[in-house]
Structures are given as C-alpha cells and as structure tokens.
Amino acid sequence: MDTKVLYITAVIVAAISGGYYYYSGKGKKLEGSSAQSMTYSAKNINLLQTDEKGMLYVKATVDELNQDMKQKTSSLQNLNASMFTDNVEDATFYAKQAHGYNDNEKIVLSGDVVATKQGEMGKMVFRTDALTGYPKTRKLETSEQVTVQTPNADFVSQGLEADLNEGQYDFKNIRGKYAPN
C-alpha cells in the first residue's frame, strides 16, 4: 500500500473520531469535570494586572504558586506585590507566604510581612507577622503586633485596621514616639 494512501486514511479516521467525540458531548463533560478538581502549580511568576480602564493596578512577583480550583484557594511563596492608583505605585507588600481564599477575595500574608503605603507626608511602613488583606475593597487587618514607621513617628500597635482607599488607620494600644517636623 502506498504511504500517501495510508496517510490520507489516518487523517480521515482521526477527523471522524474527533468529530464523533466532539459532537457526542463527551469532550465538554470531561473538560468541565476535570478542570474543577485540578490543582495548578507554577514557579517564578511575574504578574501585571490592569483595572477596567486599562490602567496598571497590580504588579507582583512570586517564587511559587499552588492553586486548588475546587477549593478556590491559592498558596504563594515569597510574594512581592505593588498596587497602583492612576498608574502610580501607592502600596507595596512583601511576605514569605500568602494564602488566598475564595478566589483571592481574602489574602492572608505571613512571615516577615512588610506593607508600605505612600501618603501625602511620605511613606508609612508596617511590619508584622501576619496581615489579612481584601484586595477588592483595599482593606487590611491584623490582631498581631505591628511596628509602624512614618516620617514623623515610630510606634508599635497591638493590631491594625486600615482602609487604603480612605487613608484611615485604626491602631490598637499604641506605644511610640512622635516628632513633628
């Protein structure tokens, strides 16, 4: 038998099999059920995300990511992220570990957490062991001890609630020093 005839026969059989598989619906069923139970893993990630206007919103690097599609959770190692407003960096976050829940509506940072917020008076730097963030609402909270450094003051707080949109911070049991300019 000629090689050309074998090749054409193989293509026809593959096309018929693929068409039957596709049109019988088995392909879609398999794709849907397998995607829900998948766990993804990636290393050395660089992320750029824009908002609905096309402006830069988040820039991040992560050493390792594990994501469970069924549980809607993610785990990140060595997260280094920046958030932007009108294409200008206004907040940064670093943590050795980060865990995202419910498709990253809630993110828990842990291990040498450093968060920096750029304000009118300069940078405000927060250091703590754990920090919970809500990216969509741009709110932060922790009940852990927080060390805060600003251009005018250094202090320690036993907990924090912050609204990055409004620039409002609620510190608990503050101890520190204040030296106005």
pLDDT in tens, 36-62: 568 888 899 898 888 888 888 889 899
Measured between alpha carbons, how far is 16 from 151 in angstroms, rounded to an integer? 71
The β-bridge partners of 156 are: 147, 175
Q: How confident is the model at residue 77 (pLDDT cuts 50, 70, 90)?
A: very high
Span 140-144, average pLDDT: 92
Q: What is the pLDDT of residue 167?
A: 80
Lowest-confidence segment of 6-15, 43-52, 125-134, 155-164 by average pLDDT: 6-15
Span 134-153, average pLDDT: 89
Q: What is the pLDDT of residue 162?
A: 87
Backbone angles phi, psi at 144, to 5 degrees: -80, 165
Lowest-confidence segment of 31-40, 99-108, 120-129, 155-164 by average pLDDT: 31-40
Determine how many CB atoms are found less than 10 A away from the CB of residue 50: 12
Amino acid code (one letter) for 43: K
Measured between alpha carbons, how far is 92 from 18 in angstroms, rounded to an integer? 49
Q: Does residue 112 surpass a pLDDT of 70?
A: yes
Q: Beta strand 153-163 with 175-178: parallel, antiparallel or unpaired?
A: antiparallel
More confident residue, 73 or 26: 73
Measured between alpha carbons, how far is 114 from 92 in angstroms, rounded to an integer? 8
Q: How confident is the model at residue 114 (pLDDT cuts 50, 70, 90)?
A: very high
pTM flag (> 0.85):
no
Q: What is the pLDDT of residue 1?
A: 43
Measured between alpha carbons, how far is 68 from 66 in angstroms, rounded to an integer? 7
List pLDDT tens digits, range 83-92: 888 888 988 9
The answer to whether residues 65 and 50 touch, using CB atoms and an 8 Å cutoff, is no
Q: What is the mean pLDDT of the chain?
A: 81
Q: What is the pLDDT of residue 23?
A: 55
User: Above pLDDT 90, what percent of the chain?
Assistant: 24
